[in-house]
Amino acid sequence: MHDDRGNAETFEALAMPLLAPLYNFAHWLAGNRDEAEDLVQETYVKALKGFGSFTPGTNFRAWMYRILRNTFLTSRTGLKATVSLDDEENPVTQPAADDDPESLLFARADQEEIRRALEQLPVVHREIILLCDVEEMSYKEIAELAGIPIGTVMSRLSRARSSMRSLLRTKLQGARQ
């Protein structure tokens, strides 16, 4: 068993390196700095309090993201953002045959265009893309932290990517014509 001080030292050592990525993730979810700071602070306070229930040797990073995510989902912005969750039903749209190849299309996208498209995605879609492509979490980690089956991770991810692609396609092809 840890004494309290040893516990706190371990927590500090594990948690502080995650501050920058957690803050980035929180800001992408919440959309502004004040809420991002509140989310991250609440996450750290909750995590420190609950650290006794964290099983050493398991995935600490995923645990922290899960706390942050739950904190966000119960916040005002989070509740608003997830009300219209028509997620799993819409069909995935395939590009038309005469569209530009995506490899060439996306090579033209600059960072600002990618960011704007990402901002326009529904939160659940933005979130899963961030966890997979930015945080490089495995499907299993995402499934555990979001409390959904791996199959849902895969279908949600493919819908998220397809919305992202059609947003970009509209922007980029529209801009050129």
Partner 1 sequence: MTCEWRDKIGAYLDNELSEADDLAMSRHLRTCQDCAMAALGSRKLKVSIKRAASGRFVPSPEFRSRIGKAVAPRSRSLPSWLPGFALAATAIIVVAVGLGLLLRPRQHDVLVEITDLHVSTLASANPVDVISTDRHTVKPWFQGKLPFTFDLPELQNSEFHLIGGRMAYVAQGPGAQLLFGVRKHQISAFVFQERESFARLGAAPKTSQNLAFNLETWTDRGLRYVVISDASAADVLALAKLLRSAE
Alpha carbon distance 92, 159 (integer Å) = 6
Q: Does 72 bind partner 1 (CB under 8 A)?
A: no
Q: Does 146 bind partner 1 (CB under 8 A)?
A: no
- Interface stretch with partner 1, choices 54-62, 70-78, 80-88, 157-165 (CB under 8 A): 157-165
Q: Does 77 bind partner 1 (CB under 8 A)?
A: no
Site for partner 1 in 93-122 (CB under 8 A): 94, 101-109, 111-112, 114-115, 118
Other Cβ atoms closer than 10 A to 122:
16
Sign of CA dihedral 168, 171, 174, 177: negative
Looking at the Cβ atoms of 8 and 85, the one nearer to partner 1 is: 8
Other Cβ atoms closer than 10 A to 107:
9
Alpha carbon distance 154, 87 (integer Å) = 12
What number of helices (H) and strands (E) belong to the chain?
A: 10, 0
The binding site for partner 1 (CB under 8 A) comprises: 5, 8-9, 11-12, 15-17, 19-21, 23-24, 27-28, 33, 36-37, 40-41, 44-45, 48, 94, 101-109, 111-112, 114-115, 118, 129-130, 132-134, 136, 138-139, 154, 157-158, 161, 164-165, 168
